[in-house]
Amino acid sequence: MTRLLAALLLCTAATVGLSPAFAEDKPALPERIVSTGTVRVAVNAAYPPMESRDPTTNEFVGFDIDLGNALAAELGLKAEWIDGQFSQTLPSLVSKRVDLIQSSMTDTWERQKTVDFVDYMVSGDQVYAMVDGPIKTVEDICGQKVTVSQATTTEKTLRKWNEDNCIGKGKPSVDIVIDSSFGQQIANMKQKRTVAGVQGVEGIGLIIKDSKGTMRTVGEPLAVSHTGLAFLKEDTQLRDAYMWALKRLHANGTYDKLLEKWNLEGAAYPEPTINKATE
């Protein structure tokens, strides 16, 4: 693109009220993606309202699903969702059985050793508990059994919080229980095998709603983080194409509409970033 043409396109975008993202050329895609017209996306469809299956139709539903389909469409592609355990999403990407991960994955410095993230949401780790249980403040979880989901960042967050706020202050340690699924976590709390759980803030609202008054959040989030799409580090072409598509969905209002649809306005991230996490 010549400098003159680029300048004209930017001026046109400004004139009609569009962001510069609309004036940028659509980026090239990897040949393996172009040849099939499909992008394979790893997901663990067990975390509403982000990603789950409709109990009637068994179809994928949720914010991540809607956003992922919109991103693929923006690039002229179709998203093929590959469902599996969350702990297997990274191995599937590394072995190239999928092209990217979109499954409420937290951007962390440790994961950045293997993948690049395109960050699209604000998240955090929130304690919740049974209304009729012993947990009234976050500090009450010291010395208690608390459940977190396997292979998620909540375990690391809770362990650090435990070191600082329980052990570090001479209180008994949290007994951390690792559950294999979100459903098992809820079951353990209802059956009083654990007294509290920790989940991402984006899913807490639906948990409380579905509990019909038996569960509630406790205190403020233990930590704030960012949720991102994950790509192999060498797959910069696909990563940059998704960054371009995400900026367009921000500019044309689709991103905000999907957040509103799934009652996730509080998780809005004003502008996409790459590898935001520093720890």
> How does pLDDT run across 101-136, given as a tens digit for each residue?
999 999 999 999 999 999 999 998 999 999 999 999
Could you say which of 224, 247, 263 is where a domain stops?
224
| Pair 129, 66 in one domain | no
Predicted confidence (pLDDT) per residue in 186-208, tens digit: 999 999 999 999 998 888 888 88
Report the CATH number that the domain containing residue 177 is assigned in CATH.
3.40.190.10
| Pair 60, 84 in one domain | yes
Could you say which of 208, 224, 240 is where a domain stops?
224
Domains: count for the chain = 2
| Pair 165, 118 in one domain | no
| Pair 168, 105 in one domain | no
**Confidence (pLDDT) at 107:** 97
Whether residue 8 is contained in a domain is answered as no
Whether residue 6 is contained in a domain is answered as no
Asked if 256 and 191 count as a contact pair (C-beta separation under 8 A), the reply is: no
Q: 134-160 burial by CB neighbour count: b if 16+ within 10 A, else e? A: ebeebebbbebbbbbbebbbbbebbee
Range of the domain at 215: 124-224
Helix (H) or strand (E) holding 73: helix 63-74
| Pair 30, 114 in one domain | yes
Q: Would residue 11 be called left, alpha or beta, if left means φ above 0 and alpha means ψ between -120 and 50 degrees? A: alpha
| Pair 104, 179 in one domain | no
| Pair 112, 249 in one domain | yes
> pTM, whole model, 2 decimals?
0.79
Q: What share of the chain is helix, strand, coil (3-state, %, to 5)?
A: 40, 30, 30
